[in-house]
Amino acid sequence: MTVPSLSLGVHDRYGPEIRDRILDKLQAPRADRAYHLLTPAQLRALARTESPDAPVLSFYLQLGPERRRGGAWHSFFTSLATATLKSIRDRREQRALGDEIERIEEAVNEELPELGRGVVFFVCRPIDLWSQIAVSVPLPDHLHLSGRPYVRPLVRTRDEHDRFVLALLSQEHSRFFISQIGQVEEVFEVKGQRVRRAHEEPAARDRGDSGMPEPVKREARVLAEAARLVLEQFEGRYLLISARPEMRTAFEHDLPKAVRQHVGGEFSVDVHAGAAEVAAAAEPAQRAIEEREELATLQRLSDAGPGAARDEPGTFHALWERRVLTLAVDDTLCKPGARCRECGCLRGTVASHCPACGSDATDAVDDVVELALEQALEQRAALELVRSGAARRPMTERGPIAALLR
């Protein structure tokens, strides 16, 4: 696996040329590995994709620990594929779908993602679509055929406070990862040169010179700007740092003020550690941030008075009025309901008429919460998918779905 890389000499300084080199590497297609983390930009691109002449196959498969053992995932895969193929009457369409399912099966047989709780494939040969995504949360097994990728279940991966950039820093080798809790993907590295510290030299000790050498300071500036560009490119919400104290101090000193506000804390891991080690080392700090932000959102809901909807009907009505600023949902909440085809109004119960527009064009849906999350994203609202025990307790008392209003 090749990671986009920048090599620095001891005399290199950050400037437009180095910035452009970093950006070129970050913006290049990430095509050298099988599975990628889902980024907001990728989700938007998938949502825009259309196939007018052939259906897009969207395949969701859970990959918890029990399914990874002994290839247990295969029976679930086969059952889902067989049921779908049997439902197709047209022999040509059935063969075409069978070929695509075989391609997916070969890919999963060849390699499972090292981390994560599931995989998603979006496949359509006529439009040259092949996308493999590793997801950090378990999504229901599902096979869907339509003219567009079926991305609705992916909204459950877009928590407002679950987009991290991890920076592993050292003088000789620094690495940057994008991460959701329990999952990481390395996206950039900087290779520096070892510089002997002035305070290691006897003459320097006699002079009392304990400052960091200029080349190291220059490298810290490059690393700080690289962190800014990674945060920007992948829309990270928090920056977590693993570094020796002197390198961290120099790095944070050079972080732009806007980026410094994204520093969420630190963790410790060897700079050469593998992906699983990095994910495990960062997880406690990530969980602490997640819990803190969830509790802060619930406190804002409590303090908002009439500026919040605190129950299911009120929240669905606020979504219909397009007034939701932040939608907070217990991440385990999944329930059937109804949606109006005319105005999009959601309800937690099935009724013959829409309470908002009076239309009788209402459809029963398997998961009305999924639709609520999708509508919130369409309205550019923030999502708070509550997962920590500390935040779930107050949600249990006041209701599993609520919203701050614009």
Q: Do 127 and 164 belong together in one domain?
A: no
Mean per-residue pLDDT for 177-200? Answer: 79
Instruction: Indicate whether 336 belongs to any domain.
Output: yes
Q: Do 99 and 171 belong together in one domain?
A: no
pLDDT classification of 200: cutoffs 50, 70, 90: very low
> What CATH number did the domain enclosing 286 receive?
3.30.420.60
Instruction: Indicate whether 225 belongs to any domain.
Output: yes
Q: Do 144 and 217 belong together in one domain?
A: no
Instruction: Indicate whether 39 belongs to any domain.
Output: no
Instruction: Note the pLDDT tens digit of each residue in 378-391.
Output: 888 999 999 999 99
- Residue 237 CB partners (closer than 8 Å, separation 6+): 160, 161, 162, 163, 164, 262
Of 234, 266, 290, the domain-final residue: 290
> What total number of domains does the chain contain?
3
pLDDT score recorded for residue 32:
64
| CA angle, residues 24, 244, 272, in degrees to nearest 5 | 55
Assess whether pLDDT exceeds 50 at residue 365: yes
* Side chain identity at residue 111, one-letter code: E
Mean per-residue pLDDT for 276-296? Answer: 95
Q: Do 24 and 108 belong together in one domain?
A: no
pLDDT score recorded for residue 241:
98
Mean per-residue pLDDT for 211-221? Answer: 80
> What CATH number did the domain enclosing 350 receive?
3.30.1330.30
Instruction: Indicate whether 297 belongs to any domain.
Output: no
Q: What is the DSSP code (8-state) at residue 182? A: T
Give the E-state strand segments of 172-276 in sequence order: 173-180, 183-191, 238-242, 263-266
pLDDT score recorded for residue 202:
47
Q: Would you list the DSSP string of 51-90?
A: -SSSPEEEEEEE--HHHHGGGTHHHHHHHHHHHHHHT---
Instruction: Note the pLDDT tens digit of each residue in 95-104.
Output: 999 999 999 9
Instruction: Indicate whether 274 belongs to any domain.
Output: yes
pLDDT classification of 156: cutoffs 50, 70, 90: confident
Give the whole-number percent of the chain exceeding pLDDT 70.
Answer: 95
Element (H, E) at 245: helix 245-254
Mean per-residue pLDDT for 347-357? Answer: 88
Q: Do 190 and 168 belong together in one domain?
A: yes
d(CA 101, CA 143): 10
d(CA 262, CA 256): 10
Q: Do 186 and 102 belong together in one domain?
A: no
Instruction: Indicate whether 335 belongs to any domain.
Output: yes
Q: How far is CA 270 from CA 8, 43, 273, 278, 287, in A?
A: 21, 32, 5, 8, 20
pLDDT score recorded for residue 210:
45
Q: Do 223 and 79 belong together in one domain?
A: no
Q: How far is CA 370 from CA 138, 155, 324, in A?
A: 14, 7, 15
Max CA-CA distance within the chain? Answer: 87
Q: Do 180 and 274 belong together in one domain?
A: yes
pLDDT score recorded for residue 211:
61
pLDDT classification of 146: cutoffs 50, 70, 90: very high
Instruction: Note the pLDDT tens digit of each residue in 86-129.
Output: 999 889 989 999 999 999 999 999 999 988 899 999 999 999 99
Instruction: Indicate whether 192 belongs to any domain.
Output: yes
Instruction: Note the pLDDT tens digit of each residue in 40-75.
Output: 888 889 989 999 989 999 999 999 999 999 999 999
pLDDT score recorded for residue 396:
82
Assess whether pLDDT exceeds 60 at residue 285: yes
Q: Do 230 and 372 belong together in one domain?
A: no
Assess whether pLDDT exceeds 80 at residue 194: no
What mean pLDDT value characterizes the chain? 89
> How many C-alpha atoms does 241 have within 13 Å on its Cβ side?
24
What tokens does 138 get?
């378990």
Give the whole-number percent of the chain exceeding pLDDT 90.
Answer: 69
Domain housing 60? 50-148
pTM: 0.87
pLDDT score recorded for residue 119:
95
Instruction: Note the pLDDT tens digit of each residue in 267-278.
Output: 999 999 999 999
Assess whether pLDDT exceeds 80 at residue 213: no
Instruction: Indicate whether 124 belongs to any domain.
Output: yes
Most trustworthy range by pLDDT among 149-163, 175-189, 354-368, 388-402: 175-189
pLDDT score recorded for residue 1:
64
Q: Do 230 and 344 belong together in one domain?
A: no
Instruction: Note the pLDDT tens digit of each residue in 294-332.
Output: 999 999 999 999 999 999 999 999 999 999 999 999 998
Q: Do 135 and 165 belong together in one domain?
A: no
> How many C-alpha atoms does 352 have within 13 Å on its Cβ side?
0
Q: Do 176 and 283 belong together in one domain?
A: yes
